Amino acid sequence: MSSSRARADFTLRKIKKSDESGMAYVIQTVMPEFGCSGPGFAIHDSEVGEMYDAYRGKDRAYYVVEHKGRIVGGAGFAPLEGGKQAECELRKMYLLPEARGLGLGDELLHTCLESAQKTGYAFCYLETTSRMLQAQRLYEKFGFQKLTAPMGNTGHFACDAWYGKTLADGS
């Protein structure tokens, strides 16, 4: 099956309340796959089980990828905790293995950046780990620049790779 045909079976949309357990499953599956299950990783954030409520404000959004009624990935943005007013953070971008390599990461990231810019953000920050090489390549493809230190106060002290991107250039 061609990847474009396979891609057609996936839907990207805003999160619904009924998606919370599916998205929690994605996060709790993908993070340990990359050795990111200990303290200081997003897998322990209280919002993992309450993603719909956590991203309901006008200054944030969360998108999920659905495949035949099952949540297989997602990504969102929200204000950068401890950051400046025009700074947001890309948060919890994960895809299960069956959703990778189809361009869904590109679509999710583009959707988040476009939405963040329309919301009024001028800068997007993200944290990841050096173990997530494919994710880092995606971020760099979208113009994110590697930073030398973390920003804000996210509580993700175990992350060791930080990126930032100015959104004013049209993301």
Domain extents for the chain?
A: 3-166
Give the percent of the chain with pLDDT over 90. Answer: 77
CATH of region 3-166, choose from 3.40.50.2300, 3.40.50.720, 3.40.630.30, 1.10.645.10: 3.40.630.30
Give the residues across from 61 on adjacent strands: 77
65-113 residue pLDDT tens: 999 999 999 999 999 999 999 999 999 999 999 999 999 999 999 999 9
Q: Tell whether pTM > 0.95.
A: no
DSSP 133-160: HHHHHHHHHTT-EEESS--S--S-TT--
Q: Quick count: other Cβ atoms within 10 Å of Cβ 46?
A: 7
What's the pLDDT score for residue 79? 97
Give the residues across from 164 on adjacent strands: 125, 145
pLDDT band at 2 (very low <50, low <70, confident <90, very high): very low
Contact at 8 Å (CB) between 43 and 36? yes
